[in-house]
Structure 1
Amino acid sequence: MPASPPSEARLRWAPWWVLAFVALWPLPGPAETVLSLGSLLAMALLALRRFRGGMVLLSHEAWALTSVLFLSYWLPELISALDAYNPGRALRESLLDLRYLPFLWLVAIAVGTDRGRRLTFGGLAVILGFWLLDALVQAATGFSVGGPATADRLSGVFGADNLKLGLVLASLAPFPLTSAADRFGLAGWLVAALVLVAVVLLAGARASWVTLGLVLVFSAWQQFRNRGVIVALALGAAAVLCVATVGSDKLQQRIERTEAMLAGSPEGMDHALSGRLPIWATALRMAAAHPVNGVGVRGFRDAYPHYAAPDDPWLRDGDHGAGYHAHQIVLEVLSETGVVGLLFWLGGVALACRAWRFATPQARLRARAPALALAVTVFPLNTHLAFYSTFWGGLTLLLAALYAGSLLADGGRAAD
C-alpha cells in the first residue's frame, strides 16, 4: 500500500500540541497531561500505520538522531537504578521517562516541514513575548497572571512559588530573538534583546544571566556577523543594568554577592555561589564512591547526608535544603549516573555536533534557534536546575527534538 500523502502524514496538528505543552509550563499538572496524551497519541498513530508512513513523517536521520539523543539521556537512568540509594525511585523515574520518546518523535515531526517550523518557532516566540510582557507589567505594578509579586524577584507567569522565569526565558531566548531579527531586522533584534536583559536581570537567577549572555553574543553573530552589533548590545545591556540596579535593592544585592568572587578566597567564592561549594564537594565524594553508575537518578538527596562533611551548612538544621541535586550538569551526571552516564551524555553531544558539522548550510540555518537554545542550556560552565527532574529534563529533551527534527528534516546532509 502506498504511503499516506505528505499533507496527511505530516500530522499538521503536531505544532499546536507542542505549543500547548510549552504554554502550560507554568501549570505543571496540565503540562504533564499534555505530554502524556501526546505520547500516547503519537504511539497510537504510529502503531495504526505500523510505521509505514514513518519516512513521510520524518527522515531516517531525524528519527535516528531524536532517538539517540533520548537514549543518551534515558539509558543512564536505567543503569543507575541497578544499585541506587533509592532503587524504587530510580527505576520509577526511568520507566516514567519512557513516555518522552514518542513525544519527542511528535516534536521532531512538528518541525519537519516549513509550515511546521514557522508555526512552532513563531509560536514559541509569541509565548515568550507574552511572558516577557507579563513580567514587565509585574515589574511596574507588582501584579502578574501568575499572581502578585511576593518573592524577592520577578516571578511572572510561573508564580512566586516557582521561580523559574529567568531560567526559562534565557534558555528559550533564541526563538524570540530569531523571530524579531527575521521580521524587523537589527532594530527588532535589539529591542527584543534589551527586553530580555531587563526581565532576566530582575528575575534574579544568576545562572540565567550567564545563559542569556551566551545567547545574545552567539545570536548577534549568527544573525548579523557584525562586531558593532555586539558592542551596541553591550552598551545597551550596561545601561539597562544600571537602571535596573538603581530601581531594585534585591538586584543590587545579587550583584554585590557576585562581586565577592573577586576576593579570591574560598569563603568569597562560596558566598558568590550561594553556598554551592559544599554541595559540589559532596557530589564529588558521591562520584568517587560510586564511580560506575552513581548513586541513582534522583538519589542525590538520599545520599547527601552520608557523604556531606560533618560541618556541612546544609545539614545544620537537620535538613539538606539545596542539597537535593548537584546544581551543575557534569556533577549531577557523575554523582547520579557515574562514568557510564557521563559517557552516554558525551556520546549524545558528539552525535549532535557531528550532525551539525555534516549538515547543509540550509539545514543549519533552519535549526539555528533550537541549536543555540540546546547548547546554552547544557553549557557546563554554569549552574543548573536538575536535568533529571520532570520540568528541566522535559525542557532539555524538547530542545533536543526541535534541534534534530529541524536540522535533519530532509536528511540535512551535504552531498558527497
Structure 2
Amino acid sequence: MSDSSKPEASLRWAPWWVLASVALWPLTGPAEAVLSLGALAALAVLLLQRFRGGMALLSHEAWALTTVLFLAYWLPELISAPDAFNAPRAWRETLLDLRYLPFLWLVAMAVANERGRRLTFTGLAVIAGFWLLDGLVQAATGWSLGGPATADRLSGVFGAGNLKLGLVLASLAPFPLTAAAERFGVAGWMAVALALVVVVLLAGARASWLTLGLVLLASGWMQFRARRVVLAMVAASALVMLGALACSDALQARFERTTAALEGDAAGMDHALSGRLPIWRTAVDMALAHPVNGVGVRSFRDAYPAYAADDDPWLADAEHGAGYHAHQIVLEVLSETGFVGAFFWLGGVALAWQAWRVAAPAARLRARAPALALVVTVFPFNTHLAVYSTFWGGLVLLLSALYAGSLLSGGGEPATDEA
C-alpha cells in the first residue's frame, strides 16, 4: 500500500488544524469556527475511512480513553440540564458541546504518530513562545499585538478586554519548556522559565502564579532529574520576582493582598481571595440543596441570588452583579452538576491515572508535556476559570485529547519497568 493510500495519510493535515485552532484563541469567533469545522472534517474523514481501515487512524485504547474523558466532562452537563435553573441555556451548552467529541478524536489522531506529535508539540511550543515574546515586548514598551496594556497588568495578544494571557501561558508552559530543554539543554529551559515568570507575574492572575510554579518544579525535575537545576530555578525566579516587585506598584499590591491570608481570620482570607469566600459559601449551599445533579451547567449566576446571603457583596455590586461562576473547579462541578457530576469527573481522573500507571516508559515520555499541562490546569487546590465555559472547557478538553492520543498511540502495552 502506498503512503498516500494508507488511512493515516488522510489526516496528515490534522496537526495543522489543531495548531490553527490554538493560534486563534485570542480571536474567539474564528477559533470557534475552526474548532467546529475541524469536528465536521474529522467526522467526514472517519465516515470515508470506515470501509478502508479507519481504525488504523488511532489505537483502540486511545479511541476509548479520549471518548471516556469527553464523556466524564459531558455527561454531567446532560444530567444537570432537565431541572436546571436556566434550562434553555443548560440544554444549549449540552448540545453545543457535542461538537467537542469529533474534534477531540481529531486532536488524538493528530498526535497518534511520531510526525504528528513532533509537529503538534513543536507548534504549541512556538505559539506559546510567540505569545510569551509579545508579552515581554508589552512589558518593555506597553504595546503588543493585542494593543496597549491595561493600567495594572499585561494582556498580550488577548487584548485588554480578555485578560487570559497569564493563565493560558501557565497551562501551556510544559510545551515550550520541553522544547527548549530538548534543543538547548538546561540553559534553554532556564531562559524560557524566567521569561514565563516575568510575563505570568505581570499578567496579574494569581491562579496562574501557582500553576506556573507547579509546572516549573515538575518540569525541571522531569527534564533533568537534578536538584541543583530546580534550586537554581527557584533562586533565579526569586530574583526576577524581586526585580518585578521593585518596578511594578500593581504587582506589589497583589503580593500584599496575597499575604493578607496570613492574618489568620476570615476577613484577611477573603481579601486575599479577592472576595471569593461568599461565592464559595454560596456554591456549597447550592451543592447541598441540589446534591444529585446541581443547579445546572452555566446556571450558577441564575441560581446565585436564591442561595446567597442577604449581605453578600456580589449581590450589591452593581458592576459585577451576582457571582458568575464558582471560581473553583471542585465547587463548580458540585454546584452545577451535583455529586453525580463529581462521580463522572472522578471516574475520568481515575481512568486517566490508570492509563498512565500501566503505560510503558516510552509512552509516558511522549505524553509528558500534555500530562503535566492537564494536571496543573485542573489542579484542585487553586482558583479557576469556569471549566464549563466555551474557552476554558475547550482548553481542558484539548489537553485531555493530547494526553490520551500521545500516551496510547502505540496501544495499551503495559509497562515492564518503572518510568
- TM-score past 0.5 threshold: yes
Give the match for residue 115 of structure 1: 115
Distance 1:320 1:134, change over 3 A: closer
Answer yes or no: is 1:92 the counterpart of 2:102: no
Distance 1:188 1:104, change over 3 A: same
SS of match in other structure, 2:132: helix
Give the conservation status (yes or no) of the 8 Å contact 2:8–2:57.
no
Give the conservation status (yes or no) of the 8 Å contact 1:294–1:336.
yes
Distance 1:113 1:10, change over 3 A: farther
Post-superposition offset of 1:295? 0.2
Post-superposition offset of 1:59? 0.2
Give the match for residue 253 of structure 2: 253
Give the match for residue 395 of structure 2: 395
Give the match for residue 206 of structure 1: 206
Write the mapping of 1:336-347 to structure 2, written as runs, cut at 5 A: 336-347=336-347
Q: Distance in 2 between matches of 1:233 and 1:14?
A: 36
Give the match for residue 292 of structure 2: 292
Distance 1:79 1:101, change over 3 A: same
Give the conservation status (yes or no) of the 8 Å contact 1:86–1:296.
yes
Identity of counterpart residues, as a percentage? Answer: 76
Give the match for residue 134 of structure 1: 134
Q: Distance in 2 between matches of 1:4 and 1:286?
A: 55
AA partner of residue 271 (structure 2): H
Give the conservation status (yes or no) of the 8 Å contact 1:105–1:401.
yes
Q: Distance in 1 between matches of 2:30 and 2:375?
A: 28
Distance 1:163 1:2, change over 3 A: same
Return the TM-score normalized by structure 2: 0.97
Give the conservation status (yes or no) of the 8 Å contact 1:87–1:296.
yes
Give the conservation status (yes or no) of the 8 Å contact 2:361–2:415.
no
Give the conservation status (yes or no) of the 8 Å contact 1:304–1:320.
no
AA partner of residue 117 (structure 1): R
Q: Distance in 2 between matches of 1:322 and 1:170?
A: 28
Give the conservation status (yes or no) of the 8 Å contact 1:10–1:109.
no
Answer yes or no: is 1:53 the counterpart of 2:53: yes
Post-superposition offset of 1:56? 1.0
Distance 1:266 1:151, change over 3 A: same
SS of match in other structure, 1:112: coil
Give the match for residue 218 of structure 1: 218
Answer yes or no: is 1:41 the counterpart of 2:41: yes
Distance 1:3 1:43, change over 3 A: farther
Q: Distance in 1 between matches of 2:229 and 2:2?
A: 51
Give the conservation status (yes or no) of the 8 Å contact 2:328–2:382.
yes
Q: Distance in 2 between matches of 1:9 and 1:148?
A: 44
Give the match for residue 333 of structure 2: 333
Q: Distance in 2 between matches of 1:323 and 1:106?
A: 35
Answer yes or no: is 1:227 the counterpart of 2:227: yes
Give the conservation status (yes or no) of the 8 Å contact 1:334–1:341.
yes
Give the match for residue 273 of structure 1: 273
Give the match for residue 360 of structure 1: 360
Distance 1:3 1:241, change over 3 A: closer
Distance 1:35 1:51, change over 3 A: farther
Q: Distance in 1 between matches of 2:183 and 2:287?
A: 48
Q: Distance in 1 between matches of 2:215 and 2:322?
A: 27
CA shift digits 1:221-270 (9 cap, x unpaired):
11011111111000000000000011110000000000000000100000
Q: Distance in 1 between matches of 2:52 and 2:383?
A: 44
Give ranges in structure 2 of 5+ residues lacking alignment: none
Give the conservation status (yes or no) of the 8 Å contact 1:144–1:157.
yes
Q: Distance in 2 between matches of 1:333 and 1:51?
A: 40
Give the match for residue 309 of structure 1: 309
Give the conservation status (yes or no) of the 8 Å contact 2:19–2:120.
yes
Distance 1:415 1:391, change over 3 A: closer
CA shift digits 1:155-203 (9 cap, x unpaired):
0000000000000000010000000000011111111100000100000
Distance 1:92 1:7, change over 3 A: closer
Distance 1:103 1:148, change over 3 A: same
Count of paired positions: 416
CA shift digits 1:371-391 (9 cap, x unpaired):
000000000000000000000
Q: Distance in 1 between matches of 2:375 and 2:317?
A: 38
Give the conservation status (yes or no) of the 8 Å contact 1:363–1:412.
no
Give the match for residue 239 of structure 1: 239
AA partner of residue 115 (structure 1): R
Q: Distance in 2 between matches of 1:51 and 1:386?
A: 40
Q: Distance in 2 between matches of 1:51 and 1:295?
A: 44
Q: Distance in 1 between matches of 2:367 and 2:278?
A: 39
CA shift digits 1:25-63 (9 cap, x unpaired):
000000000000000111111112236433210000000
AA partner of residue 197 (structure 1): V
Give the conservation status (yes or no) of the 8 Å contact 1:108–1:405.
yes
Return the TM-score normalized by structure 1: 0.97
Q: Distance in 2 between matches of 1:136 and 1:173?
A: 15
Q: Distance in 2 between matches of 1:317 and 1:82?
A: 31
SS of match in other structure, 1:296: coil
